[in-house]
Structure 1
Amino acid sequence: MAQLEYRLLDEENGFPALYGYEQIQKEEIIARCLCDYFIKEGIVYELTSSAKEESLQVIYVKKVEDKPHPQTPGQIKGMGFILLELREFQEEADSYPIMKTLEFGNMQDLLLYAVSLYINFQDSEWEKTSFEIDEDREIFCLYLKQSVKEEGVK
């Protein structure tokens, strides 16, 4: 087990701590460091960097928006598995359709998706645009757009 802290990227105020996790699996810390966005208490944060401080992993974030996150609720929480939504990214959209929800029994399977730039899904190649953790819904989300070379193929 390890320790993780999210800090606001605000040098003037000494990088204030936002959230801390005293007992967290190292694989989950890795997944969180790979995320582009972090959602908690309805606030969307963008990850800017991370740092290692002795026994503490730190993730620096900046606030993207204060309004409630527009995504629909995820599946039932607390069922003992890790959830990943595959969502179709569309420029300027207010919400992104869920194409599929995957369930994993371990964090390593999630990490294989998180580190991949391309995902073969629905007989097409999809390109990752971003990866996020939505703590409010206890789910990870992978945003995908159809790969350029696949767009002409229907």
Structure 2
Amino acid sequence: MATLEYRLDEPERDHPVLLTYEDIDEDEISTRFICDYLVTEDRVYERTVTASGDRGFIIFVRLADDEQVWDPDGIPHPTWTGIRLEIRQFSEDAAYYPVLETLHCQTQTELRLYLQGEILYRGGKEWRKTSAEVDENRKVFVLYVEAADD
């Protein structure tokens, strides 16, 4: 088990700590390293850089001013088993990204295989990954995709 910190990428403020996870599994840390965005409370943060060292692991983030939180109240106690992955259709001009499919992965490795892929084949279509996020409010990972023929 390891320690993971999310820190604001603000060197002038000595990179203040946003979140700390003690005794987190290294598989989950590597999954979080892949995610482009973090949703927590009423804010969305964009990953700028990741770091590994003697004291643990760090994901540096900056506030993503152009992104909105869908459900700041969240889900305090999920009713599903496994790790939930929503696949959502991304569109540059959309205010809402519809869910194409919800998957339940049994391991972090299975989840990472979806998040790391650049192309996704689902429902007889080819989709291109645009980004990935971890939504702490809703206890889900989200993979954003757009139709490859767009």
- TM-score higher than 0.5 here? yes
User: What TM-score do the two structures reach when normalised by structure 2?
Assistant: 0.91
Count of matched residue positions in the alignment of Structure 1 and Structure 2: 148
Partners of 2:108 and 2:100 lie apart in 1 by 21
Please say if residues 118 and 128 of structure 1, whose CA atoms lie closer than 8 Å, have aligned partners that are also in contact.
Answer: yes
Partners of 2:104 and 2:70 lie apart in 1 by 22
State the SS of the aligned residue for 1:109: helix
Report the CA distance between 1:14 and its aligned residue.
0.4
Structure 1 residues not aligned, in runs of 5+: none
Identity in percent: 36
Structure 2 residues not aligned, in runs of 5+: none
Report the CA distance between 1:118 and its aligned residue.
0.3
Aligned-pair Cα RMSD in Å: 2.0
Partners of 2:134 and 2:50 lie apart in 1 by 16
State the SS of the aligned residue for 1:108: helix
State the SS of the aligned residue for 1:65: coil
Partners of 1:55 and 1:8 lie apart in 2 by 17
Residues 94-153 of structure 1: per-residue CA shift (max 9 Å, x gap):
1100011000111111010011000001101100000000000000000000113xx5xx
Partners of 1:120 and 1:67 lie apart in 2 by 27
Please say if residues 8 and 16 of structure 2, whose CA atoms lie closer than 8 Å, have aligned partners that are also in contact.
Answer: yes
Runs of 4+ in 1 over 2 A off after TM superposition: 65-68, 70-74
Please say if residues 42 and 67 of structure 1, whose CA atoms lie closer than 8 Å, have aligned partners that are also in contact.
Answer: no
Q: Is residue 2:52 matched to residue 1:52?
A: yes
Query: Equivalent residue for 1:110?
Result: 111
Q: Is residue 2:57 matched to residue 1:35?
A: no
Query: Equivalent residue for 1:133?
Result: 134
Report the CA distance between 1:78 and its aligned residue.
5.0
